[in-house]
Amino acid sequence: MDRIIRSNNDLGAAIRQARKAKNWRQVDVAKKASVRQALVSELESGATTAKLDTIVKVLAALDLDMTIVPRRKASFDPTAY
């Protein structure tokens, strides 16, 4: 699953998709990542200010890695975030 993540909502959708592909509930991801179920819900909805290390734990629980690549689009509009 290669995906461009440019917002909290994009990240949440990717996490939700990976969780559903495994037929897991949010609580299953939370237990495996040692976080609260509410945090998984917040991540999936894009409404979180979770620390990066917490996000990495959730991604690892879902067997996902984060990759940093050069932006494909030439322009950058900081107001879009």
All domains of the chain, ordered by start, with CATH?
8-66 (1.10.260.40)
Which is more confidently placed, 33 or 6? 33
- In 46-66, which positions are buried (b, 16+ CB within 10 angstroms) versus exposed (e)? eebebeeebbebbbebbeeee
Mean pLDDT of 49-57: 94
Mean pLDDT of 37-53: 94
Give the predicted TM-score (pTM) of the model: 0.84
* Residue 76 pLDDT level (bands cut at 50, 70, 90): low
